[in-house]
Amino acid sequence: MIVVLFMAAFLWGSGMVMGAPKRARWIMIAVLLACVTVAQFVLPEGHVVREATGGDPRLWPFLMALGAIAYGYRIVLRKVKQRAMTPEEPAAQAGTFSEAELNRYARHVMLREIGGAGQKKLKSAKVLVIGAGGLGAPALQYLAAAGVGTIGVIDDDVVENANLQRQVIHTDAQIGAPKVMSAADAMTAQNPHITVRPYNRRLTAQIAADLVADYDLVLDGTDNFDTRYLVNATCAALGKPLIAGALTQWEGQASLYDPASGAPCFACVFPDAPDPALVPSCAEAGVVGPLPGVIGSIMALEAIKEITGAGDGLRGKLMIFDGLYGQSRVISTKARADCKVCAGLP
């Protein structure tokens, strides 16, 4: 036994002199003990090597087991000490706030129109944003920053270099990535206290009802009338308020459509899609970079007001913003008795 201990000490010391890491030295000693154990079982009783290394085949397995137990105990003890020395922020329960969240949303809580009760409503709210492009990008950023608890985003597009002039939620490094994944990464990086649900697919009639039904409020930032009418019909049928925005070149608009509360739906205001030649896309007509930020931010603001009950929203109103001449105006809108979408809905 003394011979084995001497050999182990020699291996440890020589490894230290040669600069071998502790792990390598422990491995060498483990190999030595394994060889000694094998020798105890293989060599006949009374053999000089067997006698010199303990003489009992049960000795070294027993000592190795004790060593393993001691090593495991040391690891567990170290982890317990680390947890005790590292203060952990208690996980916030539904409807409650951690210290970090209270500090983050302090400016909201200070507002009389929002306060603590309104911030709780934001935390409990579930908002679906359709489109992660020009309008969706700023809306998603501000909804995430505001502390909306669950945010869904659906889009089947990928980030392109031409998007980055206005879709500020995406970065150059995300070119080629799905927009919903790029947006989700940016949102959770900005606010880890929220839940983001990315849907990397196109919104279709087959999935629209099931998807919208799971949310309290919908923001439509799409760029084609087929999807806009689909979103409007789905929200109207399910009684979900819809905040929709649109833009072209220097001008944008936003409104809150909610036939369930007596306000018009999108089809009441725009019963028929205009001629495509009259509403060219951004790729065809161009768009000034900050304009989507203005309209998308207004959409996020209206969402916060709708959730918290603050102020007077754009329900039954259409806000039109002219960025070229610095003008904005609000016109009243009314539900149509002959609307093919919402007429007759409760």
Task: Tell me the pLDDT tens digit for each residue of 296-306.
Answer: 999 999 999 99
pLDDT at 78: 66
Is the pLDDT assigned to residue 84 strictly greater than 60? no
pLDDT at 232: 96
Determine the average pLDDT of the residues in 45-72: 70
Cβ within 8 Å of residue 215, ≥6 positions away: 126, 127, 128, 150, 152, 240
Q: Band of the pLDDT at 87, cuts 50, 70, 90?
A: very low
Is the pLDDT assigned to residue 15 strictly greater than 70? no
Phi, psi of 328 (to 5 degrees): -145, 150
* 53 touches 40 (CB < 8 A): yes
Tokens of 291: 């304009």
Rounded to whole angstroms, how far apart are CA atoms 329 and 86?
A: 55
Tokens of 5: 């201990």
Mean pLDDT of the chain: 86
Rounded to whole angstroms, how far apart are CA atoms 26 and 15?
A: 10
Return the percent helix, strand and coil in the chain, to nearest 5: 50, 15, 35
What percent of the chain shows pLDDT beyond 90? 65
Determine the average pLDDT of the residues in 63-88: 64
Ordered domains of the chain (ranges, CATH): 2-85 (no CATH), 125-332 (3.40.50.720)
